[in-house]
Chains A and B, each alone.
Chain A
Amino acid sequence: MILDISKLDASKEFETDVCIVGAGAAGIAIAQALTNSDVDCYVVESGSLEFDANTHTLTRTEQVGVDDKRICRLRYFGGSTNHWGGWCMPLSEIDFQPRPWIPYSGWPIKLADLDGYYQAANAICKLGLYKYDKSDYADNLDRLGFVDTTKLNTRFFRISKPPVRFGEVYRSGLREAKNVRVILNANVTSLETNENARTVRFVRAKSLYGHTAYFKAKYFVLACGAVGNAQLLLLSNSVEKAGLGNGFDIVGRFFMQHPHVYCANIFGTNTKDIRDLFREHSESGTATRATIGPSPKVQSDLKILNCSATIHFPTDPSSGYGAAKELIGDIKQGKWPEDSTEKIQDVIKDFDSIVTRLRKGPPVLNVQMRAEQAPNPDSRVMLSSDLDRLGQRTVKMDWQLSEVDWRTIRVAAVLIGEEFGRLSYGRVRLPSWLTGGTIDWPDALWGGCHHIGTTRMADAPRDGVVDRNCRVHSVDNLYIAGSSVFPTSGYANPTLSIVALALRLTDHLQNRLRYG
Chain B
Amino acid sequence: MKRRMLLSLFIPMILYSRCSLANKLVPIDNLYRLDILMSKIREFSGNLEASIAVGERFLQLYPEKKETTHLMYGVGCNPRQVHTYSRLKFLKRRYQDYLLGNTLIVDGWVLAQAELCVCALVALYHSRLSCR
- In the assembled complex, the CB of A394 is this many whole angstroms from the nearest CB of chain B, namely 42
Q: Is the interface of A mostly helix, strand, loop or mixed?
A: helix
**CA of A413 to CA of B108 in the docked complex: distance in angstroms?**
11
Could you tell me if B108 and A418 are in contact, using CB atoms closer than 8 angstroms? no
Q: State which size class the interface on A falls in.
A: 10 to 19
**CA of A430 to CA of B107 in the docked complex: distance in angstroms?**
8
**CA of A76 to CA of B104 in the docked complex: distance in angstroms?**
50
Kindly specify which of A163-171, A341-349, A420-428 makes contact with the partner chain.
A420-428
Chain A residues whose CB sits within 8 angstroms of the CB of B105 once the complex forms: 414, 430, 435
Could you tell me if A427 and B110 are in contact, using CB atoms closer than 8 angstroms? yes
Indicate if A318 sits at the interface (CB-CB under 8 A).
no
Could you tell me if B111 and A427 are in contact, using CB atoms closer than 8 angstroms? yes
**CA of A428 to CA of B105 in the docked complex: distance in angstroms?**
10
Chain B residue total in the interface (Cβ 8 A): 13
Indicate if A429 sits at the interface (CB-CB under 8 A).
yes
Indicate if B98 sits at the interface (CB-CB under 8 A).
yes
- In the assembled complex, the CB of B60 is this many whole angstroms from the nearest CB of chain A, namely 15
Chain B residues whose CB sits within 8 angstroms of the CB of A427 once the complex forms: 109-111
- In the assembled complex, the CB of B86 is this many whole angstroms from the nearest CB of chain A, namely 17
**Contact code string B96-127 (vs A, CB < 8 Å = 1, else 0):** 00110101010111111000000000000000
Chain A residues whose CB sits within 8 angstroms of the CB of B107 once the complex forms: 429, 435
Chain A residues whose CB sits within 8 angstroms of the CB of B108 once the complex forms: 429-432, 434-435
Question: For window 81-104 of chain B, which residues contact chain A by CB distance below 8 Å?
Answer: 94-95, 98-99, 101, 103
Chain A residues whose CB sits within 8 angstroms of the CB of B101 once the complex forms: 151, 415, 418
Could you tell me if B110 and A422 are in contact, using CB atoms closer than 8 angstroms? no
Could you tell me if A418 and B109 are in contact, using CB atoms closer than 8 angstroms? no
Q: Of all chain A residues, which has the CB nearest B96?
A: A422
- In the assembled complex, the CB of A48 is this many whole angstroms from the nearest CB of chain B, namely 50
Could you tell me if A422 and B98 are in contact, using CB atoms closer than 8 angstroms? yes
Indicate if A192 sits at the interface (CB-CB under 8 A).
no
- From A419, A421, A422, A432, give the contact of B111 (CB < 8 A): A421
Indicate if A417 sits at the interface (CB-CB under 8 A).
yes
Q: Of all chain A residues, which has the CB nearest B103?
A: A418
- In the assembled complex, the CB of B87 is this many whole angstroms from the nearest CB of chain A, namely 13
Contacts A421-B103, A430-B105, A435-B105 given: A414-B98 contact, CB under 8 Å?
Answer: no
Q: Of all chain B residues, which has the CB nearest A430?
A: B108
Chain B residues whose CB sits within 8 angstroms of the CB of A430 once the complex forms: 105, 108-110
Q: Of all chain B residues, which has the CB nearest A419?
A: B98
- From A264, A414, A432, A435, give the contact of B103 (CB < 8 A): A414
Given contacts A418-B101, A430-B109, 16 further A-B contacts (CB under 8 A): A414-B105, A414-B110, A417-B103, A417-B110, A418-B98, A418-B99, A421-B94, A421-B103, A422-B99, A427-B109, A428-B110, A429-B107, A429-B110, A431-B108, A434-B108, A435-B108
Interface residues of A (CB under 8 A from B): 151, 264, 413-415, 417-419, 421-422, 427-432, 434-435
The 19 sampled A-B contact pairs (Cβ below 8 Å) are: A151-B101, A413-B110, A414-B105, A414-B110, A417-B110, A418-B98, A418-B101, A418-B110, A421-B94, A421-B98, A421-B110, A421-B112, A427-B109, A428-B109, A429-B107, A430-B105, A430-B108, A435-B107, A435-B108
Interface residues of B (CB under 8 A from A): 94-95, 98-99, 101, 103, 105, 107-112
